[in-house]
Structures are given as structure tokens and as C-alpha cells.
């Protein structure tokens, strides 16, 4: 009876999307799409309201150049026809994330931009999100969830009509299998979006191998983060019952297999990516450092410095060490601030950090000189008054 009920339950839910094992060739682009049916029209309307709010939100980084650049990478990945259906919003939030909602709102989180190393990697993420959008995954997931919960409501009613031990047990089993099914359905959608994402890249001028490389890089960051905390390195192979996405290890391996082998020679446009992101790097690093993830942040900074240290990178590393704030960290920070200052004299905040770190290590005279320099370079800084209290004589100069 148990088994029968389960089988009936699962067949009542809508079909699981076939987890594509080879990179899907993107379907022909259908042109401008309008929502159909009550559910989809309802969700789009809700989504339109959300987008209206988002467009006026203080969280959005409103920079036409940056937004335009990301849009161009999306267009290069999915093709100019498709990318017309997306609106790009860059959200200032230092997490590795992006999302594309049913009506075509593409949210790109600033933490993602810090972690991507070239246009191909960014394209891989944007393509994945576009895959969700093109296959209308949210709508299908909503419908699956609705039939799952409807089923549970009815069977809950039946179970409470004859509340024997066995009936309750069967109901609990059913509950778990419905929940499990819903999570698996979501993970299968991720797999489908992964396959589509690589499918777009295969057809583009960007190397599809970037998708796997990006996951390996993220795994290395997570490993570095765990190591700095003294934790065992994260297990990239487990599938938790409630995981929303397939494990990173599986994704990297699958994506590598899906990539077109002769695509590996294409230009991943790393130089162009670095140039476009350069003006934003200080802000992105500042937000990242405030996450208090020493291992992860240091990994990212060192990775960015792989082809040469810049003043911004030395400064970020110095701030990272100074804000962790052990005595030994100040010693390192002093050295890094020094490196930053020797590369660029136009970094007032480096003098500020240097002065504070020197003061903490007992080198008061040098520290005050550095703080004095900071006040000279940026007399209108928001903390100028506070800093001037640490510099004898500075108050009188005002």
C-alpha cells in the first residue's frame, strides 16, 4: 500500500526535465515572448512590479558603462536576438550570485564580477541564467510545487480521517518523497540550465571550457576559505537531500565534458574583462573584505594579482590584514601599505591604514606622520575629525 501510494503520488507530479547529458543545441530563438495562461501572466505581473522596485533601488549600481559591458558579454554568449529580451541590473552585494527572473530581469551581483576572470566565465554564468529564463523554469517549478502541496493537502486530509499508526507513517513517507522530489526537480533544472549555458558558449566566439574552469576556481576559493578557518576542506561531492544545486564537483566535471573540444583555442577576452572592471575593483574588494572571510578574500586578491600586483591590490590586501587585526597582521599590513604607496602616491586611504597599523604596533611617530599625510591628502574625509584627534597639532591646523 505504501509503495502504491508513493508511485501514485510521484506520477501525479509533473514530469522531471530530462537531465541532458550532452550540451543542448539552443532551440531556434522564438522572438519576443509574451506570457500565456493565468499562472504565467500572474507571475509576470508580480515580476514586473518587482522590477519596477528594483529599477529604483539604492542597491543597484547605476553605471551605464558597466551595465552596457555586461550586456555585451551576455549578447556575445547567447546571441544578439536572445539578449534583447533581458534587462541587466548590477546589484551591489558581495556574493557569488546572479539570477534571471521570468520576465527577463537579469540581476548580477557585484560579488560575481569580482570572481570572474574573463568574459567567457562571466558568459558561462549569464548563459546558465538565460537557460533558466528560456526554458521558463520558474513557472514549471511553481506548478510542480503546487501539485506537490495539493497532493499533500489531500493526503493529509485522508490520513487524518483514519489516523492509525500505519496511515500516519505512510503519510510521513509521502511527505518526504514529495519534498525530495521538489528539491530534485530544482536540481535537474540546474543541470538543464548548465547544459544550455555551455550550449550557448559552444556556438559563441568564447571558449566553453570556461564554465568548468569557473567552478574549479570557486572550489579553490571555498577550500582556501575553509583552510583559513582550520576546517576540513568542503566536500564537493555530496548531494544533500535539500541542496538547491548539484554539487560543484559534479558540475565542473559535467561542464568540462559538455564543452566543444575545439572551442578551447578561442580568446576568452581576459584583458578586456580586466580593463572593464578596473574602475570597480577597489569597491568590489572593499565589500569583499568586509565579509570577514579571510581565506576566501586573500585567495581572490592573490588570484587577481597573478599577472602583476597593482596599488589597489596591495591596498586591499593590507586592509584585509589590518581589519583582521592581530598584532602579527599589522606587521604584514604595514608592509603591504608600503608596497601600495610605492606604486601609487594617490591613495590617501593607504596612508590612513598605514598610520593606524603603525600606531597599533607602537610606532607612534611614524604613525602620526602617515595620518598627517592622510589628512593633507583628503582633508574632507568623513573621519577627518576623528583621525585628527590622533595627531597632536592637527586640531590647531584647522
149 touches another protein (CB under 8 A): yes
119 touches another protein (CB under 8 A): no
C-alpha 27/C-alpha 41 separation (Å) is 23
The residue within the footprint of another protein, chosen from 86, 88, 100, 301 (CB under 8 A), is: 100
CB 287, CB 92: distance < 8 Å: yes
The residue within the footprint of another protein, chosen from 1, 4, 32, 157 (CB under 8 A), is: 157
Is the Cβ of residue 130 or residue 321 nearer to another protein in the bound state?
A: 130
The residue within the footprint of another protein, chosen from 11, 34, 53, 164 (CB under 8 A), is: 53
Q: Grid coordinates 566535471 are at which residue?
A: 253
C-alpha 215/C-alpha 229 separation (Å) is 21
Minimum CB separation of residue 393 from another protein in Å reads 40
Is the Cβ of residue 102 or residue 295 nearer to another protein in the bound state?
A: 102
Contacts 24+ apart (CB under 8 A), 34-38: 35/102, 35/103
Question: Nearest Cα to 224, choosing from 216, 233, 215?
Answer: 233
User: Helix 270-277 and helix 119-134: axis angle, to 10°?
Assistant: 90
Question: By CB under 8 A, which span of 5-13, 174-182, 292-300, 306-314 interacts with another protein?
Answer: 174-182
The residue within the footprint of another protein, chosen from 29, 33, 96, 309 (CB under 8 A), is: 96
Question: Exposure pattern of 108-142 as b/e (b: 16+ CB <10 Å)?
Answer: bbbbbbbbbbbbbbbbbbbbbbbbbbbbbbbbbbb
258 touches another protein (CB under 8 A): no
Question: What is the bridge-based pairing of β-strands 105-109 and 98-100?
Answer: antiparallel
CB 41, CB 212: distance < 8 Å: no
Cα 275 to the center of its chain, rounded Å? 20
Is the Cβ of residue 124 or residue 284 nearer to another protein in the bound state?
A: 124
39 touches another protein (CB under 8 A): yes
34 touches another protein (CB under 8 A): no
Minimum CB separation of residue 212 from another protein in Å reads 13
C-alpha 382/C-alpha 368 separation (Å) is 18
41 touches another protein (CB under 8 A): yes
C-alpha 46/C-alpha 331 separation (Å) is 53
The residue within the footprint of another protein, chosen from 244, 342, 344, 376 (CB under 8 A), is: 244
The residue within the footprint of another protein, chosen from 1, 15, 56, 386 (CB under 8 A), is: 56
Question: By CB under 8 A, which span of 17-25, 48-56, 321-329, 362-370 interacts with another protein?
Answer: 48-56
What does 279-305 look like in DSSP terms, one character per residue? GGHHHHHHHHHTT--HHHHHHHHHHHG
Name the strand (E) or helix (H) holding 91.
strand 87-91
148 touches another protein (CB under 8 A): yes
User: What nine digits make up the cell of 228?
Assistant: 583559513
The residue within the footprint of another protein, chosen from 142, 227, 305, 339 (CB under 8 A), is: 142
User: What nine digits make up the cell of 286?
Assistant: 572593499
55 touches another protein (CB under 8 A): yes
Question: By CB under 8 A, which span of 51-59, 81-89, 199-207, 326-334 interacts with another protein?
Answer: 51-59
98 touches another protein (CB under 8 A): yes
Residue numbers at the binding site for another protein (CB under 8 A):
35, 38-39, 41-47, 49, 53, 55-58, 96-102, 125, 128-129, 132, 137-138, 141-142, 145-146, 148-154, 156-157, 160-161, 163, 175, 179, 182, 186, 193, 218, 244-245
Amino acid at each position: 500500500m505504501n509503495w502504491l501510494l508513493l508511485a501514485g503520488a510521484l506520477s501525479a507530479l509533473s514530469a522531471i526535465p530530462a537531465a541532458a547529458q550532452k550540451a543542448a543545441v539552443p532551440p531556434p530563438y522564438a522572438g519576443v515572448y509574451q506570457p500565456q495562461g493565468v499562472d504565467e501572466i500572474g507571475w509576470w505581473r508580480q515580476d514586473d512590479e518587482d522590477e519596477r522596485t528594483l529599477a529604483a533601488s539604492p542597491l543597484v549600481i547605476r553605471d551605464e558603462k558597466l551595465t552596457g559591458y555586461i550586456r555585451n558579454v551576455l549578447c556575445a554568449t547567447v546571441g544578439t536576438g536572445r539578449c534583447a529580451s533581458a534587462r541587466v541590473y548590477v546589484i551591489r552585494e558581495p556574493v557569488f550570485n546572479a539570477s534571471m527572473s521570468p520576465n527577463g530581469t537579469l540581476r548580477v551581483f557585484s560579488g560575481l564580477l569580482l570572481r570572474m576572470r574573463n568574459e567567457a566565465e562571466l558568459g558561462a554564468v549569464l548563459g546558465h541564467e538565460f537557460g533558466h529564463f528560456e526554458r521558463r523554469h520558474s513557472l514549471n517549478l511553481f506548478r510542480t510545487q503546487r501539485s506537490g502541496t495539493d497532493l499533500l493537502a489531500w493526503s493529509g486530509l485522508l490520513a487524518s480521517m483514519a489516523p492509525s499508526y500505519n496511515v500516519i507513517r505512510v503519510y510521513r513517507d509521502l511527505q518526504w518523497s514529495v519534498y525530495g522530489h521538489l528539491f530534485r526537480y530544482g536540481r535537474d533544472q540546474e543541470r538543464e540550465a548548465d547544459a544550455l549555458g555551455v550550449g550557448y558558449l559552444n556556438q559563441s566566439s568564447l571558449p566553453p571550457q570556461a564554465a568548468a574552469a569557473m567552478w574549479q576556481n570557486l572550489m579553490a576559493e571555498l577550500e582556501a576559505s575553509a583552510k583559513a578557518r582550520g576546517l576540513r576542506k568542503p566536500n564537493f561531492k555530496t548531494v544533500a537531500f535539500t541542496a538547491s544545486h548539484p554539487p560543484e564537483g559534479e558540475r565542473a566535471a559535467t561542464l568540462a565534458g559538455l564543452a566543444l573540444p575545439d572551442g578551447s583555442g578561442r580568446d576568452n577576452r581576459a584583458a578586456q574583462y580586466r580593463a572593464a572592471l578596473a574602475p570597480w575593483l577597489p569597491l568590489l574588494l572593499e565589500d569583499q573584505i568586509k565579509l570577514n572571510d579571510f581565506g576566501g578574500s586573500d585567495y581572490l586578491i592573490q588570484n587577481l594579482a597573478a599577472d602583476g600586483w597593482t596599488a589597489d591590490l596591495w591596498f586591499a590586501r593590507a586592509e584585509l590584514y589590518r581589519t583582521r587585526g592581530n598584532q602579527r597582521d599589522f606587521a604584514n599590513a604595514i608592509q603591504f601599505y608600503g608596497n601600495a604607496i610605492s606604486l601609487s602616491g594617490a591613495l590617501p586611504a593607504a596612508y590612513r591604514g598605514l598610520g593606524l597599523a603603525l600606531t597599533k604596533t607602537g610606532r607612534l611617530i611614524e604613525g602620526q606622520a602617515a595620518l598627517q599625510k592622510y589628512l593633507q591628502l583628503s582633508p574632507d574625509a568623513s573621519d577627518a575629525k576623528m583621525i585628527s584627534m590622533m595627531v597632536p597639532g592637527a586640531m590647531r591646523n584647522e
